[in-house]
Amino acid sequence: MNLKIAGLDGRVRVMFAKPGGKPFTLEISPNRQHMIEAGKVLKISCPLYLKKPKTFYWFEYLPDSQALYIQYNVCDFKDATGNSFENFTKKLFAFADSHAVRRVIVDLRLNGGGCSNVIVPLLSGQGNRKRLP
End-to-end CA gap in the chain: 56
Contacts of 77 (CB under 8 A, 6+ apart): 84, 85, 86, 115, 118
Strands ordered across the beta sheet of 67-72: 57-62, 67-72, 103-107
pLDDT at 57: 94
The pTM assigned to this predicted structure is: 0.66
- The pLDDT assigned to 35 comes to 65
Helical H runs in 1-75? 38-41
The string of pLDDT tens digits covering residues 19-30 is: 888 888 888 777
Query: Out of 7-11, 91-95, 110-114, which region has the weakest mean confidence (pLDDT)?
Result: 7-11
